[in-house]
Structure 1
Amino acid sequence: MTITSPTTPDVTSSQTPRVRDVRAEHHREARGIGETKPRVSWRTETTAVNWRQRAYELEARDANGDLIGVTGRLKSDASLLQPWPFRPLTARERVAVRVRVWSDDERVSDWSDPLDIELGLLEPSDWTARVITPDRDEDFTTPQPCPLLRREFDAQPGVTHARLYITAHGVYEAHLNGQRVGDHVLAPGWTSYDTRLRYQTFDVTPLVRTGRNALGALIGDGWYRGRLGFGGGRRNLYGQHLALLAQLELTYADGRVERVVTDESWRASTGPILAADLYDGETYDARREAPGWTQAGFDDGAWHAVRVTSRDLATLVAPDGPPVRRIEERPPVRIFTSPSGKTLVDFGQNLVGWVRFTVRGEAGRTITLRHAEVLEHGELGTRPLRFADATDRYTLKGEGAETYEPRFTFHGFRYAEVEGWPGELTPSDLVAVVVHSDLERTGWFECSDSLVNKLHENVVWGMRGNFLDVPTDCPQRDERLGWTGDIAAFAPTATFLYDVTGFLTSWLADLTADQRDDGAVPAVIPHVLNETLPAAAWGDAATIVPWALYERTGDAHVLERQFDSMKAWVTYVHGRAGETLLWDRDFQFGDWLDPAAPPTNPAAGRTLPSVVATAYFARSAELVANAAHVLNRAEDERAYRALAADIRAAFAREYVTTSGRVLSDSGTAYALALQFALLPTPEQRARARRRLQEVVRENGYLISTGFVGTPLICDALCDAGNVEAAFRLLLQRECPSWLYPVTMGATTVWERWDSMLPDGSINPGEMTSFNHYALGAVADWLHRRVAGLAPATPGYRRLDVRPLIGGGFTFARARHVTPYGEARVAWRVHDGQVELDVVVPPNTTARVTLPATGNVLDVGSGHHTWTQAVPSNADRPVLSLDSDLDALLSVPGAYDAVRDLVARHSADHVDPFKRALRSSIVGANLRRAVWGVPHRDALLEKLTAALDALNTREDAST
């Protein structure tokens, strides 16, 4: 084994630490925040090896540059979420914070660039604005034209800065003097509106003019009163009237402050948006535009009055996470004509957003765009949209080039059908606009298998499309709800790929707000369904998501905020389980979308629902105990640790045999029992590990798990010592498998393992989506285990580098921007050696397990490389008719070759052949698997020739 380290440059300045990326709380944009004592974090850059911070100093200055405070040198190696050391900030206050650090060798950094922090409005008394709504009659049973609201005002000379604080009942777009305010879309987003309504803060100083000004906003239904839910959904869930709350504050050089606020002086009308619904799309008539309505001097005499409506301003909250924005644009890759003569556009990627187009035509012509994720038999596949129309309509005003894109809807689509276009549609006429929460990308993965890389890319795109203000299940049909089970499964993956701290912190606040008094957690958050549906693995998001955030960010505050909610959920389940501690009643989703479940009943999987429910009861009790330990709540820790132990004992008594067989005998049942530590004896654990391997093998290494088992099974196999079984499960291409959708051209993760059937038709089930992120939770295993980049302590202060080599991979690599800087792990196998390359961020350490020998090393920050000899491929099997399934799968392409050969010989015998080959009976091999096939001797000759060719090819490659 050789170990190399980088040569440290002689240039002294390269070892001097540099402080970068100073942040307040988890905000990338610290304007309009709600924390009066924001915790401060920073990252340090240096080429010095084994660099550790010895001390730091913080300084804060007000908007005039005057010193608020300086800490002096504080001896500490902490750089994550350090307590605010100065007086609490007040509403509207602006401060600049900077940091410098000392290293162990007493080198001191320069001061960092200042972080500008500005608070929003904190109390109801900070608002003089009132909520206003157009004073008009409306039909609340159907979408109505979007209202326009405006007011003019005068600004005196000497405005030094101007801030607009704004929110709405509905979704809004604000304008000042004809210019759009900010770049947010679908603001203020979706929260549990009755208890939490976000407002936004915008710096509009450049838009204010001396003299006459005009402030205006248009409002759409959005989530507030638009249609929500499946089966047609319901309207007006939060209220019937759209409304606006806006407060523009002008600060002058002499300190004077003038406010322009929403009140009875505003005027209202309607404009070109005749209807806007998240599910159905937007209808826009450009002939009804009112040019100049957000500019001074516009004649609003024909407009009507507004009236003040009620709102508890104590429910207003500053944002925790980033807004929804336009993120990128995707041009068409193909424009073509469908078999029925429709004009279709393929954007090459299943995405979320809308289409922007530029058109010339006569007044009154209507362009219609219909959206869908897939084609079926060459036509737009709209059946999976159910009751969502997903259609935008634009009527031209006939005045030269007209550019249109929707404001108050979004679609999940790859394809668009265009109707009514004048002349020939060309790729330069339109573009897809990708829209989602503007999260910071923090994680990447790549390996030597191109299909796995595409799977990972699909996971990323699926997350992007479904992280649109709340973590939705799907973005295209009449649903798009914050299903708790999906994010419970996916949270570890999400926290690696993107910085979702603020995003999920906000969603968890809604979970707490919508949690019932008895602790039951609704199946969707925000809660908009007729029923609560508190169920295992779904309601357990109350414990799983906070813990995942804590593990990946090191922020114990999220546990503090959610601790009562976590306890309440476990208390609720305890009440339902009763003295037996077995949750064997109530509705359960079970192992949702187990591929064995029929299309019409996704909950009817292999695993008994009470096995799933009781296992999660134990897991959540343990997570509450873990959180109590972090929070130094000793009494709670003892109580919930004991409860978890009692539930495990009850689970074992009811569902586990003395030898270690688990009721249901399914991959999910064994994965739960092993990963949640539900098996009390070593003998039971050993038997469960063996049986898990047998169950996976008997299923031909095809997927046999749903939402519950899928995130766990690869880890369970690896922990059981069956690493190759996990890789075989990953690399299967038959349906159901992770790679089957990839071979079918998927660009996102599907809801069902077979959302599209091999013949290109859409799954006949009523519930079929081509963009669901939950089953992409396997990416977490790719990051942590295959690449080997995981946190050994919360927040990655210590890394656990433990890569798995297998599956025929020749390399894998991952990188993640931790709270301390970018960490990297990469391994490559070539010429009989494995090279491991690791980058450890400054101020952190790593525990490295070398893949070839298993030796464990402790290293500090810096760049480290190890090279080791690996066993040769000489022990790879020579394939013959006596080879079993595992031997065939160990040679790339061998299993597919023999399966296809059998299919060509006798298609009716393919399924019996596969079942026989997968059998766990001793002696199951290729020769026995073709027993009973007609003209067996001829088939055996063909198989022997094929195997000889594979052996020759393998020998050559070796």
Structure 2
Amino acid sequence: MKITKLRTNQMENPLGFEYDRLTLSWVTKVEETDKSLFQSAAQVQIATDADLTYIIFDSGKRDDINRLAFQPDIQLKPRTRYYWQVTIWGEHDEQATSSIAWFETGKIDESWQGKWITPDLDKEVHPLLRKNFTLPSDVVTARAYVCGLGIYQLEINGSRISDEYFAPGFNAYDFWLQYQTYDVTDLLTNGDNAIGIMLGNGWYKGRFGFDGGYHELYGDTFAAIVELVVTLADGTTKVIGSDRDWKSAASPIAFSGIYDGEVYDANKERTNWSTANFDDSDWTGVHETTVDTEEFQARLSLPVKIKEERKPIEIIHTPAGETVLDLGQNMTGWVRFKAKAAKDEKLKLQYGEILQNGNFYNENLRTAKAEYTYISDGSEREVQPHFTFYGFRYVKLTGFPEDISIDDFTGCVMYSDIEETGRIETSNPLVNQLFKNAMWGQKGNFLDVPTDCPQRDERMGWTGDAQIFASTACYNMYSPAFYNKYMYDLREEQKRIGGSVPFIVPTIKPENDPGFVTGNGSAAWGDAATIIPWTLYMHYGDKALLEEQFDTMKDWVDYIKRLDDETGSNRLWRVNFHFGDWLALDGKDPAGLMGGTDPFYIASAYYCYSATLVAKAANVIGKTAIEKEYNQLAEEIKEAIYNEYFTANGSSAIPTQTAMVVALYMDLIPESKRPRLIEDLKVKLLDDGLHLNTGFVGTPYLCHVLSENGLNDFAYTLLLNEDYPSWLFAVKQGATTIWERWNSVLEDGSISGTGMNSLNHYAYGSIAEWMYRHMCGINPAEQSPGFQKMTLTPKPNGQLSYAKASVESASGYIESGWELKADGSLIFSFVVPFDTTAELVLPHANLEEVQVNGEALSRTNLDAVQAKENVKCELVPGTYVFDYTPKKSYQLSYSSKSSIKDLLGNNQAREIFYKELPEIAHNEIAKKQNLETPIRDFLTMPIISQFVSEDKFAKLDEKLKNIKL
């Protein structure tokens, strides 16, 4: 056994974070010689030294320690590093001890010796702030506690202190502000030292917001606070704090902005400005100031870093005479380049997502200039921005010499410091690219806040987008700490508006609010309050996180119920503005935004769904009275919805794909009525030519509902459609991220509009969750979340020859894949991690024919049973390969001369075919085969017969044999 991924509050070795709760977790991997498969006991020790000599907490050997979320009972001290180690025992008494992990506290409740300071400069001048200081002996440890507004970079003795960018991040500055902690021990020296901080506008001070943005949303002044705490070899501690003794001067940055970019004049550089030997005699002073925020606390934001680097794939010389870099990938960050220009020459980089007619284009960025201007001092050097970022694939170069080389440029991919955890691969290259597009959409939009887009004059934390993509995000990347910070912002906003939830978090609050900007209370958007916490719990099994966010969940539902009670809506939500099924294609107005599904129906559905999630969360944390109350509320809402929006026999009165999908996904109708609604959805999809027309609400649930209700083949067809509207339409058009609209780019390559058209907008990338859950079958179990127990339910389809997925889950490495062989047999492969169990469902299988790891399943000690069409099997940790030939029958009594064309041309036969064989009847396989192919040959092809059980063949045989085809 090997213990890995030791995490504190879901982070590895976190420095200076806020620890209102302390949770430790780890992952154990099985090694070849191990006999034990489960953790039988564990012991956690915490000490104040790296050798674990001074132990302050020892759990002792216990059998009740949860490896996903162990909470030690200790009181944390300020500015202290704690070291911890875990030892586990397996059921065969094998033992393993981890390496030593650590976490370090910030100032906690200590008062600050450093003061907020601001330069004696015009408030629009980007400043440098600095101070010299002396250390009388060698440094043992040193920490910098710092915050700068808008955003900052800190240097000591001429070196950047960290590889982090855009600190302190984007949060609800008026409610809380976070400082960062850095270990700067190695940057200090005995004797003379210097510290300096550079400030830019960022979200706090610069242009940001709707309709071209607003200036000075939170403040109008550059400001910084620094406290350097140094422990010396002579046993003393020295504190160097920001105060009136610091000095200031204009920086080389003439301008910075999130939307517009940066202007940097190298001629105005102050060489070695953050070193001790720099002459600052001509610098001006600073004065103390105050920052208007309610709380100033340790960080929650994960650092934003350059996570990847990419070289351009091509330098393009466009028909318009432009020089354009193609990075080959739509991404977020910037380009680092080698500057070779004469003194005072300007080098300009403009960023865009797409070419038009072969030329550079960025009009879909609206008012965002998205450019970087470098004014050369004549020296050759490597250059990159400081206080801005871009969403782009293409970069237009102006002022550069003709002999530039690709090697002179590097694309820097920037996002929050989150680990990739998920992988998907199939036999279809377009599907593989779609998955990559969803992953890149997440990378591009997980920059401190889960934004809607990273490129235009928006880049905001829309709550609807955040909740829609949350589960996909958790499969793709290890996301709990990232979302925890976002939910903290959401809670701070929510507390001040009576339990409602803003459209965007953090909310943009201009003084002259036109109305929409600070809107709140929209269904599906506000339901981020319930859906994200529950999603995090399901993926990571951290009950403490659910407890922390429970009031957020409950207050949101209470807000809706209050509106319901006050307006007499009788358990329907029929007031407020709602976005409806945003950007759906089924509205009366083709240019409309909200689709054809009644927004109040959607609102009422989410009212019910969120009430159910509150009840589930209450059950988990032991609040039984609340569980009962909200289950009752959900039942009342469900009854009201059924009476208002459904006919007596269970048909939806709103004939849209989304209306039916939402009802099935959120369990809004009686169980006895589900077959009728499923049939109606099937007919609706057939009427729509087996193409989706759903928007932000319907799309995330669409394929889940189909696969869960006997229409798995429909789900695959929707996934694999290549024409508009479909996921693969964008891929065929060359997309490398997910588009905001199904037709963001038209078939001729022209962009469909500029008003609201992002090419990196991850909401529709939520199809990746279906790929993990249904195509490959990896699902956390509600009774034991965090993949302590999982269900493996892969659902193969003959339109692919293989699919496989893997997830580095909170419980360890999970793998699930399948392959369809040419002879019609299926091979499944699985990896189940240590200390977990899995319920496996093998589709269309006969127990007696299934082989596992080369042995008959029926003869192994695995707990396996025959369940109608499937075989169910309980798996313990290990690696498995199952193979079998799915059920099929070749005995058809109707004429083998009858062709597919005959069947499709006969109304009565076609209706029977669709009803009895829904998995294959609707799709395009028949059209792809020779229409003259005999029906019997078609149905017994391996690619088809794996989905057709013997009883279905019998029904078809009986009903078709008397029909003259």
TM-score by length of 2: 0.88
CA distance, structure 2, for counterparts of residue 833 and residue 920 of structure 1: 25
Q: Which residue of 1 aligns with 2:838?
A: 846
Q: Which moved more, 1:871-880 or 1:616-625?
A: 871-880
CA distance, structure 2, for counterparts of residue 886 and residue 267 of structure 1: 88
Q: Which residue of 2 aligns with 1:593?
A: 583
Q: Which residue of 2 aligns with 1:92?
A: 79
1:795 and 2:786 correspond: yes
Q: 1:646: how far off?
A: 0.4
CA distance, structure 2, for counterparts of residue 633 and residue 357 of structure 1: 57
Name the aligned partner's letter for residue 59 of structure 2: T
Residues 727, 807 of structure 1: 8 Å contact kept:
no
Q: 1:597: how far off?
A: 4.5
Equivalent position to 1:863, from 858, 862, 879: 879
Q: 1:414: how far off?
A: 0.4
Q: Which residue of 1 aligns with 2:636?
A: 646
Over residues 880-902 of structure 1, what are the superposed CA-to-partner deviations in whole Å (9 max), with x where a residue is unaligned?
44454999xxxxxxxxxxxxxxx
1:129 and 2:114 correspond: yes
Equivalent position to 2:258, from 258, 272, 278: 278
CA distance, structure 2, for counterparts of residue 413 and residue 124 of structure 1: 43
Name the aligned partner's letter for residue 628 of structure 1: A
CA distance, structure 1, for counterparts of residue 228 and residue 99 of structure 2: 29
1:397 and 2:413 correspond: no
Q: Which residue of 2 aligns with 1:74?
A: 62
CA distance, structure 1, for counterparts of residue 150 and residue 118 of structure 2: 11
RMSD: 2.6
1:564 and 2:551 correspond: yes
Over residues 178-228 of structure 1, what are the superposed CA-to-partner deviations in whole Å (9 max), with x where a residue is unaligned?
011110011111111122222111111111011110100101101101111
Q: 1:301: how far off?
A: 1.7
Q: 1:875: how far off?
A: 9.8
CA distance, structure 2, for counterparts of residue 886 and residue 27 of structure 1: 62
Q: Which residue of 2 aligns with 1:538?
A: 525
Name the aligned partner's letter for residue 78 of structure 1: N
1:309 and 2:326 correspond: no
Q: Which moved more, 1:114-123 or 1:497-506?
A: 114-123
CA distance, structure 1, for counterparts of residue 157 and residue 54 of structure 2: 36
Equivalent position to 2:91, from 70, 88, 104: 104
Structure 1: runs of 5 or more not aligned: 1-16, 139-143, 888-915, 923-942
CA distance, structure 2, for counterparts of residue 921 and residue 38 of structure 1: 55
CA distance, structure 1, for counterparts of residue 50 and residue 230 of structure 2: 17
Equivalent position to 1:39, from 1, 6, 23: 23
Name the aligned partner's letter for residue 638 of structure 1: K
CA distance, structure 1, for counterparts of residue 242 and residue 928 of structure 2: 83
Q: 1:107: how far off?
A: 1.6
Q: 1:370: how far off?
A: 0.8
Residues 36, 90 of structure 1: 8 Å contact kept:
no
CA distance, structure 1, for counterparts of residue 666 and residue 156 of structure 2: 56
Equivalent position to 2:12, from 28, 43, 48: 28
1:784 and 2:773 correspond: yes
Equivalent position to 1:51, from 37, 42, 48: 37
Change beyond 3 A, Cα 1:945–1:56: closer
Residues 50, 860 of structure 1: 8 Å contact kept:
no
Q: Which residue of 1 aligns with 2:954?
A: none
Q: Which moved more, 1:329-338 or 1:75-84?
A: 75-84
Name the aligned partner's letter for residue 798 of structure 1: K
CA distance, structure 2, for counterparts of residue 71 and residue 695 of structure 1: 59
CA distance, structure 1, for counterparts of residue 44 and residue 65 of structure 2: 14
Q: 1:318: how far off?
A: 2.5
Q: 1:852: how far off?
A: 3.0
Equivalent position to 1:614, from 593, 604, 613: 604
Change beyond 3 A, Cα 1:485–1:189: same
Q: Which moved more, 1:784-793 or 1:464-473?
A: 784-793
Over residues 31-70 of structure 1, what are the superposed CA-to-partner deviations in whole Å (9 max), with x where a residue is unaligned?
2133276222122222346611111112222237432243
Name the aligned partner's letter for residue 353 of structure 1: G
Name the aligned partner's letter for residue 498 of structure 1: M
Name the aligned partner's letter for residue 640 of structure 2: A
Name the aligned partner's letter for residue 436 of structure 2: E
Over residues 531-587 of structure 1, what are the superposed CA-to-partner deviations in whole Å (9 max), with x where a residue is unaligned?
223200000101011110011000122221222221221122122233322212221
CA distance, structure 1, for counterparts of residue 707 and residue 44 of structure 2: 45
Q: Which residue of 1 aligns with 2:806?
A: 815
Over residues 643-698 of structure 1, what are the superposed CA-to-partner deviations in whole Å (9 max), with x where a residue is unaligned?
1110000000100101112122111000111111111251x211100011111121
Q: Which residue of 2 aligns with 1:724?
A: 713
Change beyond 3 A, Cα 1:954–1:448: farther
Q: Which residue of 2 aligns with 1:805?
A: 796
Q: Which residue of 2 aligns with 1:141?
A: none
Equivalent position to 2:452, from 473, 476, 490: 473
Residues 281, 390 of structure 1: 8 Å contact kept:
yes
Residues 849, 855 of structure 1: 8 Å contact kept:
yes
CA distance, structure 2, for counterparts of residue 447 and residue 886 of structure 1: 36
Residues 53, 77 of structure 1: 8 Å contact kept:
no
Residues 253, 262 of structure 2: 8 Å contact kept:
yes
Residues 42, 80 of structure 1: 8 Å contact kept:
yes
CA distance, structure 1, for counterparts of residue 650 and residue 322 of structure 2: 59
CA distance, structure 2, for counterparts of residue 493 and residue 688 of structure 1: 27
Residues 608, 663 of structure 1: 8 Å contact kept:
no
Number of residues of Structure 1 aligned to a counterpart in Structure 2: 884
CA distance, structure 2, for counterparts of residue 714 and residue 466 of structure 1: 24
Over residues 731-775 of structure 1, what are the superposed CA-to-partner deviations in whole Å (9 max), with x where a residue is unaligned?
111111011000000000000000000011111251101000001
Residues 659, 687 of structure 1: 8 Å contact kept:
yes
Residues 452, 465 of structure 2: 8 Å contact kept:
yes
Q: 1:157: how far off?
A: 1.6
Change beyond 3 A, Cα 1:718–1:875: farther
CA distance, structure 1, for counterparts of residue 306 and residue 929 of structure 2: 57
Q: Which residue of 2 aligns with 1:906?
A: none
Q: 1:131: how far off?
A: 1.0
CA distance, structure 1, for counterparts of residue 146 and residue 735 of structure 2: 40
Name the aligned partner's letter for residue 812 of structure 1: A
CA distance, structure 2, for counterparts of residue 762 and residue 249 of structure 1: 54
Change beyond 3 A, Cα 1:800–1:162: same
Over residues 226-263 of structure 1, what are the superposed CA-to-partner deviations in whole Å (9 max), with x where a residue is unaligned?
11123111011110011111111110234311001111
Q: Which residue of 2 aligns with 1:668?
A: 658
Name the aligned partner's letter for residue 731 of structure 1: L
CA distance, structure 2, for counterparts of residue 944 and residue 423 of structure 1: 51
Over residues 373-420 of structure 1, what are the superposed CA-to-partner deviations in whole Å (9 max), with x where a residue is unaligned?
011111222111001001111111012x12211111111000011111
Over residues 766-822 of structure 1, what are the superposed CA-to-partner deviations in whole Å (9 max), with x where a residue is unaligned?
110100000111110100111011111311000110100115222111111122211
CA distance, structure 2, for counterparts of residue 839 and residue 873 of structure 1: 32
Structure 2: runs of 5 or more not aligned: 510-516, 846-869, 917-926, 944-965
1:544-555 → structure 2 map (5 Å cutoff): 544-555=531-542
CA distance, structure 2, for counterparts of residue 161 and residue 356 of structure 1: 33
1:436 and 2:415 correspond: yes
Residues 154, 160 of structure 2: 8 Å contact kept:
yes
CA distance, structure 2, for counterparts of residue 166 and residue 885 of structure 1: 74
Q: Tell me which of the two structures has the higher relative contact order, counting C-alpha pairs closer than 8 angstroms and 6 or more residues apart.
A: 1
Change beyond 3 A, Cα 1:807–1:482: farther
Name the aligned partner's letter for residue 275 of structure 1: F
Change beyond 3 A, Cα 1:640–1:64: closer
Equivalent position to 2:157, from 149, 152, 177: 177
Give the 3-state SS of the residue equivalent to 1:499 in structure 2: coil
Name the aligned partner's letter for residue 793 of structure 2: R
Equivalent position to 1:763, from 729, 737, 752: 752
Q: 1:859: how far off?
A: 1.6
Name the aligned partner's letter for residue 484 of structure 2: T
Q: Which residue of 2 aligns with 1:894?
A: none
CA distance, structure 2, for counterparts of residue 332 and residue 953 of structure 1: 48
Residues 787, 826 of structure 1: 8 Å contact kept:
yes
1:437-516 → structure 2 map (5 Å cutoff): 437-515=416-494, 516=496
Residues 37, 89 of structure 1: 8 Å contact kept:
no
Residues 841, 872 of structure 2: 8 Å contact kept:
yes
